[in-house]
Structure formats: structure tokens, C-alpha cells
Amino acid sequence: MIDRSRRLRTTPLLRGMVRETRMSPQSLILPLFLQEGEKICSPIPSLPGHFHYSPDEVSRGIEEALRHGVNKFLLFGLPASKDPEGSGAYAEDGIVQQGLRAIRQKYGKEVYLITDVCMCEYTSHGHCGILCGETVDNDKTLPYLSRTALSHVQAGADMVAPSDMMDGRVAAIRQLLDENGFENTPILSYAVKYASSFYGPFRDAAGSAPSFGDRKSYQMDCHNVREALKEAMQDTREGADLLMVKPALSYLDVIRAVKENTHLPLAAYSVSGEYAMIKAAAQAGLIDEYGVMCESAVSIFRAGADILITYYANELADAIMKGDIG
């Protein structure tokens, strides 16, 4: 027998040398949740191991991540009050803006800060834009999203990530940033965001569940792949610098399709439900948490992701450095 594939599997060093999928801590982004107030470092029950931080305490989460080699963060905000227009999203003293200034003052450019640009956490109705009756008005929402993105950048954000799924929001944000001298600030577009049942723990953590109806009129139908390519290409034309597919594990085929048909760096968001399922199954003694965490992350990169947003960022960085993956 001449062809023996097992020859290249005989030792850990050899397996590591011939790996087809490579990962690095530099490709990991950790979500962080900011909450208005002081002295807040409160565990999030639906996301074990994660916390709500007030701006004066967020350094705890930053320091922990830096110890693991993770230095990129995606920031979400929980305002003290909400209104129909989601004014806390773009307020100069909004919670994300406060957190940005606090982090930037302490860490300078040691960390890279990305902000989620949406309105669902800030509106009293929980939808991602301005309502007209019980329908989100796409075009009326765009100036609010653009204003939010600009306020984040002015407060210290390195990159903005619109997640609302309004048509035309990338172009609107790009125009306003450019007009204000931020033409070099990149946009990471949630280009392909599905109306998924995997978001449950996040909606609890962020207080962003809609008070009526659902988001299926603006987030994507889970049956569709060609539409994902349409969305990704449209956002590319509008000026997006990076694209995202969300969720990740149930949409590996979509990650692959977007990767093969676009040329921008591609992120995938391993969402709260994916994290919570692994945690719950491990707690029940049904799976090896560490092994499933590693295998799941590898599958996302193998599908074509260049960047992974994950609640396991710290643990995955350790696994990469140990050589268990990467």
C-alpha cells in the first residue's frame, strides 16, 4: 500500500504541521456588556462566566481577556432608561459612549474597540428602529443609526458594527462618518443576520427582546442562502470593510458561500444560544465542554471565517496557545 493517509497523523507535532485550518488569538473578539451605574460587576445568569459591567468596572473584563491574549472587544450597552426613539443609543453620555471613554483613557490603543450599532437595547418597544404603527420604518431609522455610529467613533470606537439589518444603513453610516473626518474608520457589517432562535440568552443579557411581534420582517429567513449573498454584496457596494454571518454553527454553509463569493474579511458570530447549549450540556455531564468548544470553533474557521466573535474567546485563546487547536 503506497498511499497511507495515517502517516501524517502519527504525532502531535506532525498533525500540527499539516493542519489545513489555522487559528490565532488575534482573530478572536470578545463581547462585553456595559450597564449604566457604578460599582457594577454582576454575573449574567443566561451567559455563565460573563458579567454586566459599569464603566468604572469594565476594566475587570478587559484585564481578564488581556491575560489570555485577547485584545479585541465588541461592546453592547444597557441604558438606565428607554424611549421610542432609542435616544440613549446616540446620546453623548450614553452607556456605550461612557464605556468607550473609560476604556480608552485607561488602555489607549492597547485594545481594539468595536461597537454594536443598533437600537433594540435602547427603544422602549425593543425593535431595531423607528416605528410607524407596529412596523419598523426603514428609511426613518437610517439617520438614527448613522448618528449612533458617529457618536461611538467620537467617543473612541475603532470600528462600528451595524446589526439592525435596515436596508441602506452601511451607505448612510459611511457617508456621515466621512463627512465628519472619520473616513478611515472601518465598518463591520452584520451583513447576513438571521431571525434566529439562538439569540435567547443575549436578549436576556441585553434586555433587548421586542415587546410585541418579532424581527422577521428585517432579519433574514433561515431557509435562504442566495439572499445572504445578495445582502453581503449590497453591503460591500455600500462601503462595508468587513462582513459578518450570524449565527455561526447552524449557518456554516452560509459562511462558506459568502467566503467563496466575496473578497472582504469575513467574521462569524458564535451567538449566545450556541454558547449556552454547550455550557448546559457540559453541566449535565453529556459532553466534554473543552473538546466541543474547540471543535465548534474549528468548524467555523474551516467553513471560511477569518474572525470569530465568541463568548469563549478567552478559553479559545488558551487552547490555541496550548496547541490543542490553531
How much is the mean pLDDT over the chain?
95
Q: Could you give the CA distance from residue 224 to residue 226 in angstroms, rounded to a whole number?
A: 6
Residue 1, pLDDT > 80, answer yes
Q: Which amino acid is at 116?
A: D
Position 31 confidence tier, pLDDT thresholds 50, 70, 90: very high
pLDDT digits 0-9 by tens, 146-158? 999 999 999 999 9
Mean pLDDT to the nearest integer, 3-17 = 91
CB 259 within 8 Å of CB 287 = no
CB within 8 Å of 12: residues ≥ 6 apart: 323
Neighbours of 199 (CB within 10 A): 21
Tell me the DSSP string of 68-86: HT--EEEEEEE-S--BTT-
Q: In the 8-state DSSP scheme, what is residue 44?
A: -
Residue 242, pLDDT > 70, answer yes
| Active site positions, annotated | 193, 246
Mean pLDDT to the nearest integer, 49-76 = 98
CATH ID of 19-322, from 3.20.20.70, 3.30.1510.10, 1.10.10.10, 3.40.50.1820: 3.20.20.70
Task: Sketch the domain layout of the chain as residue ranges.
Answer: 19-322
